[in-house]
């Protein structure tokens, strides 16, 4: 049976003073059973002394406190010696709670230190951190940690690929199967799946920041994200795993959208972000994590095709995919971007036959636009920062490549921006100067922000506009149907807009 979110979370308190730490602890208590007090974040020994004194004699019947005073050589902030560390930890141990003790200290001080602190009254988390990589021999590391006689072991390692996350989750399951209390997690963006799936794979808890800016490690999600977006209490061995493949992914709306839709439709499914630049291990990690379907974004839309056993007509026409579905032991690719481009154009009633259209960009999304515009028999000029890419794309779809400087004083029926210029965080950039080139309609594929600077300038010049959000909505509806066989609830967009503005 799944545990409640409250029982699965550990909120770290990372404050510089005892007063602020106590206030944060009270707030954290509403969200999590486990509260980690990072003594090494307090800015002086006086503050450590103050905090421990304040906590003396207090009872926390619903909570477990963890005291951590990690030294700098183990990735913490405590500048003192091992002797000073052990003195403070001895004092914290007398409060009868948990201590997080890094393996480096045990190695330097000797194995006796664990039973010594246990005799004083603490339970011990023996922890290991690797801030650069996920160690190759995780099983060996786990054995070393178990040998210390701690009450719980923790392995935190930088995950540099989704395969690292899959390996960490596999060792987590193994430890839980053998009955060892443990927490195994991946740091960094690639580690996100371990933080979300960890508790259902047997982790004692998963770390969660109280709010943004209060993370104690990179890639840590907030308590609210784990509770409201990922609903970690609902995840079990039958949960179907979907996700987004690309890099970078931090700007993406898809995890919020899909997870909200799964909730509304009561589907036992979860949607994760798989951030990676490298596809070589794709078959391995998707199989290990039992991924059932993926949305694909830049830069993988073309390269991922090499892993597919088949593609739908739209994908073959465009030459790139944005949707992958795992069916009968094989991957199949689809392209819903083309539908997403076509629908808003049709809704506007634009007849583009023999009309002049300017396409900016020659990447994955531009391929979809080029294919749709060919079907609509438009006369298309393609302009791109890398001219050779514009030429290649133009040749493929029977359009013409043009250099940006030749565009001055031209007017088009439609300008489509399929570059990433203007996308968050560089929202002040525009891909073209609308004082030099004009159009009846400007369509910006960028959807974050929903209204780009280019669209604002176009509106000011009385040109009609289509936002990338329109395309996102249309393509997401088609993609959701392919991946889940269900219709995306229309009310979901209102909910997403509200979530994002709150
Ligand atoms: P991509 O394959 O990486 O292509 C990026 C394109 O942008 C290339 O043509 C690139 O030119 C150009 N570019 C990048 N930085 C530039 C700069 N500083 N100056 C000038 N040109 C630059 O990416 P993609 O998948 O095609 O995505 C492009 C945009 O479309 C992204 O913003 C993406 O979010 C958006 N998109 C939106 C939707 C939606 O549903 N609304 C769907 C798909 C994509 P070079 O060839 O010279 O590198």
Mean pLDDT score, 10-17: 98
How far does the centroid of ligand 1 lie from the alpha carbon of residue 492, in Å?
A: 27
Q: Whose CA is nearest to atom 40 of ligand 1?
A: 472
pLDDT tier for residue 322 given thresholds of 50, 70 and 90: very high
Q: Measure Cα distances from 270 to 80, 240, 257 in Å.
A: 44, 6, 11
- pLDDT computed for residue 496 by the predictor: 77
Q: Whose CA is nearest to atom 31 of ligand 1?
A: 420
Mean pLDDT score, 243-256: 90
Query: Hey, what domains does the chain have and what are their CATH numbers?
Result: 5-237 (3.20.20.70), 242-337 (3.40.50.10860), 348-474 (3.40.50.720)
How far does the centroid of ligand 1 lie from the alpha carbon of residue 362, in Å?
A: 8
Burial class (CB in 10 A: 0-12, 13-18, 19+), 78: buried
Q: Whose CA is nearest to atom 29 of ligand 1?
A: 420
| Res 502 pLDDT > 60 | no
Burial class (CB in 10 A: 0-12, 13-18, 19+), 255: buried
- pLDDT computed for residue 61 by the predictor: 87
Task: Answer whether 444 contacts ligand 1 (Cβ < 6 A).
Answer: no
- pLDDT computed for residue 493 by the predictor: 83
Cα 201 to Cα 192: distance, rounded to the nearest angstrom = 14
- Under 8 Å CB-to-CB from 136, ≥6 apart: which residues? none
Q: Measure Cα distances from 390 to 371, 383, 413 in Å.
A: 14, 6, 20
The answer to whether 352 and 373 are in contact (CB under 8 A) is yes
Mean pLDDT score, 108-119: 95
Task: Answer whether 261 contacts ligand 1 (Cβ < 6 A).
Answer: no
pLDDT tier for residue 494 given thresholds of 50, 70 and 90: confident
Cα 144 to Cα 128: distance, rounded to the nearest angstrom = 10
- pLDDT computed for residue 58 by the predictor: 84
Probe residue for ligand 1, chosen from 420, 447, 453 as the CB with the greatest number of ligand atoms within 8 Å: 420
In the chain, % of residues over pLDDT 90: 92
- pLDDT computed for residue 1 by the predictor: 57
Q: Whose CA is nearest to atom 8 of ligand 1?
A: 363
Tokens 């003396």 correspond to 56
pLDDT tier for residue 46 given thresholds of 50, 70 and 90: very high
Nearest atom in ligand 1 to the alpha carbon of residue 299 is 3
Token pair for 268:
């036992």
Buried b or exposed e, range 228-241, using 16+ CB within 10 angstroms: ebbbbbbbeeebbb
- Under 8 Å CB-to-CB from 245, ≥6 apart: which residues? 274, 276, 294, 295, 296, 297, 300, 304, 324
Backbone angles phi, psi at 28, to 5 degrees: -65, -30
Q: DSSP assignment of 360-406, as one string?
A: E--SHHHHHHHHHHHHTT-EEEEE-SSHHHHHHHHHHHT-EE--GGG
- pLDDT computed for residue 501 by the predictor: 54
- pLDDT digits 0-9 by tens, 436-446: 999 999 999 99
How far does the centroid of ligand 1 lie from the alpha carbon of residue 341, in Å?
A: 15
Task: Answer whether 337 contacts ligand 1 (Cβ < 6 A).
Answer: yes
| Res 485 pLDDT > 70 | yes
Burial class (CB in 10 A: 0-12, 13-18, 19+), 32: buried
Mean pLDDT score, 239-260: 92
Task: Answer whether 298 contacts ligand 1 (Cβ < 6 A).
Answer: yes
- pLDDT computed for residue 476 by the predictor: 94
Task: Answer whether 350 contacts ligand 1 (Cβ < 6 A).
Answer: no
Q: Whose CA is nearest to atom 34 of ligand 1?
A: 446
Cα 169 to Cα 194: distance, rounded to the nearest angstrom = 6
| Res 415 pLDDT > 70 | yes
Catalytic position from the list 292, 301, 376, 470: 301
Token pair for 374:
């060919």
Which comes out higher in pLDDT, residue 24 or 492?
24
How far does the centroid of ligand 1 lie from the alpha carbon of residue 195, in Å?
A: 30
Probe residue for ligand 1, chosen from 419, 443, 453, 474 as the CB with the greatest number of ligand atoms within 8 Å: 419
3-state secondary structure of 46: helix
Probe residue for ligand 1, chosen from 345, 363, 451, 467 as the CB with the greatest number of ligand atoms within 8 Å: 363
Task: Answer whether 443 contacts ligand 1 (Cβ < 6 A).
Answer: no
Cα 114 to Cα 108: distance, rounded to the nearest angstrom = 12
Task: Answer whether 344 contacts ligand 1 (Cβ < 6 A).
Answer: no
pTM over 0.85: yes
Output the CA angle 211-95-53, nearest 5 degrees. Answer: 75
Cα 256 to Cα 495: distance, rounded to the nearest angstrom = 10
- pLDDT digits 0-9 by tens, 178-202: 999 999 999 999 999 999 999 999 9
Task: Answer whether 222 contacts ligand 1 (Cβ < 6 A).
Answer: no
Burial class (CB in 10 A: 0-12, 13-18, 19+), 94: middle
- pLDDT computed for residue 85 by the predictor: 97
Signed CA dihedral, 116, 120, 121, 124: sign only: negative
Nearest atom in ligand 1 to the alpha carbon of residue 470 is 41
How far does the centroid of ligand 1 lie from the alpha carbon of residue 339, in Å?
A: 18
Backbone angles phi, psi at 110, to 5 degrees: 110, 155
pLDDT tier for residue 60 given thresholds of 50, 70 and 90: confident
3-state secondary structure of 429: coil
CA max distance for the chain: 85
Token pair for 1:
């049976």
The answer to whether 104 and 73 are in contact (CB under 8 A) is yes
Mean pLDDT score, 236-252: 93
Nearest atom in ligand 1 to the alpha carbon of residue 251 is 34
| Res 70 pLDDT > 90 | yes
Cα 33 to Cα 98: distance, rounded to the nearest angstrom = 13
Q: Whose CA is nearest to atom 27 of ligand 1?
A: 365
Cα 165 to Cα 187: distance, rounded to the nearest angstrom = 9
Mean pLDDT score, 165-181: 98
How far does the centroid of ligand 1 lie from the alpha carbon of residue 387, in Å?
A: 14
pLDDT tier for residue 250 given thresholds of 50, 70 and 90: confident
- pLDDT digits 0-9 by tens, 258-316: 999 999 999 999 999 999 999 999 999 999 999 999 999 988 999 999 999 999 999 99
The answer to whether 331 and 308 are in contact (CB under 8 A) is yes
Task: Answer whether 447 contacts ligand 1 (Cβ < 6 A).
Answer: yes
Cα 272 to Cα 278: distance, rounded to the nearest angstrom = 17
For residue 463, count other CB atoms closer than 10 A to its CB.
Answer: 17
Task: Answer whether 362 contacts ligand 1 (Cβ < 6 A).
Answer: yes
Token pair for 178:
């053998």
- pLDDT computed for residue 330 by the predictor: 97
Task: Answer whether 420 contacts ligand 1 (Cβ < 6 A).
Answer: yes
Cα 394 to Cα 378: distance, rounded to the nearest angstrom = 13
**Average pLDDT value over all residues in the chain:** 95
| Res 219 pLDDT > 70 | yes
Least confident span in 2-6, 328-332, 389-393: 2-6
Residue 290 falls in the annotated catalytic set: no
Nearest atom in ligand 1 to the alpha carbon of residue 447 is 41
| Res 449 pLDDT > 70 | yes
The answer to whether 36 and 99 are in contact (CB under 8 A) is no
pLDDT tier for residue 251 given thresholds of 50, 70 and 90: confident
- pLDDT computed for residue 500 by the predictor: 62
- pLDDT digits 0-9 by tens, 325-360: 999 999 999 999 999 999 999 999 999 999 999 999
């Amino acid at each position: 049976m799944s545990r409640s979110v409250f029982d699965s979370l550990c909120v770290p308190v990372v404050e510089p003073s005892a007063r602020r730490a106590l206030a944060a602890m009270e707030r954290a208590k509403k969200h999590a059973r486990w509260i980690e007090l990072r003594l090494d974040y307090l800015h002086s020994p006086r503050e450590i002394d103050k905090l421990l004194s304040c906590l003396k004699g207090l009872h926390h019947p619903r909570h477990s406190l963890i005291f951590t005073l990690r030294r700098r050589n183990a990735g913490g902030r405590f500048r003192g010696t091992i002797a000073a560390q052990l003195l403070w930890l001895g004092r914290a141990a007398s409060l009868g709670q948990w201590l997080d003790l890094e393996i480096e200290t045990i190695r330097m001080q000797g194995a006796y230190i664990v039973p010594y602190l246990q005799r004083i009254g603490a339970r011990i988390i023996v922890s290991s951190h690797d801030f650069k990589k996920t160690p190759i021999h995780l099983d060996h590391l786990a054995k070393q940690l178990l040998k210390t006689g701690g009450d719980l072991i923790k392995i935190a390692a930088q995950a540099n690929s989704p395969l690292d996350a899959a390996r960490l989750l596999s060792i987590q399951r193994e430890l839980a199967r053998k009955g060892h209390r443990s927490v195994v997690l991946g740091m960094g963006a690639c580690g996100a799946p371990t933080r979300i799936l960890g508790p259902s794979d047997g982790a004692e808890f998963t770390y969660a920041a109280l709010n943004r800016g209060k993370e104690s490690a990179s890639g840590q999600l907030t308590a609210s994200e784990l509770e409201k977006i990922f609903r970690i209490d609902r995840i079990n061995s039958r949960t179907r795993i979907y996700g987004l493949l690309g890099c970078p992914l931090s700007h993406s709306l898809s995890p919020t959208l899909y997870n909200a839709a799964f909730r509304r439709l009561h589907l036992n499914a979860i949607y994760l972000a798989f951030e990676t630049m490298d596809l070589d291990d794709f078959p391995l990690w998707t199989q290990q994590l039992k991924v059932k379907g993926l949305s694909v974004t830049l830069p993988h839309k073309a390269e991922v095709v090499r892993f597919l056993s088949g593609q739908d007509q739209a994908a073959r026409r465009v030459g790139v995919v944005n949707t992958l579905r795992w069916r009968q032991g094989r991957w199949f690719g689809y392209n819903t971007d083309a539908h997403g481009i076509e629908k808003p154009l049709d809704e506007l009633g634009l007849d583009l036959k023999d009309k002049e259209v300017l396409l900016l960009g020659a990447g994955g999304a531009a391929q979809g636009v080029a294919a749709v515009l060919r079907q609509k028999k438009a006369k298309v000029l393609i302009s791109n920062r890398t001219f050779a890419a514009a030429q290649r794309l133009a040749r493929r779809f029977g359009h013409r490549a043009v250099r940006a400087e030749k565009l001055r004083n031209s007017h088009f029926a439609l300008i489509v921006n399929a570059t990433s210029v203007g996308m968050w965080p560089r929202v002040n950039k525009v891909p073209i100067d609308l004082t030099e080139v004009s159009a009846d309609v400007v369509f910006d594929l960028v959807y974050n922000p929903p209204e780009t600077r280019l669209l604002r300038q176009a509106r000011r010049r009385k040109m009609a506009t289509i936002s990338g959000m329109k395309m996102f909505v249309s393509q997401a509806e088609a993609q959701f149907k392919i991946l889940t066989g269900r219709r995306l609830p229309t009310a979901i967009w209102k909910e997403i807009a509200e979530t994002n503005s709150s």
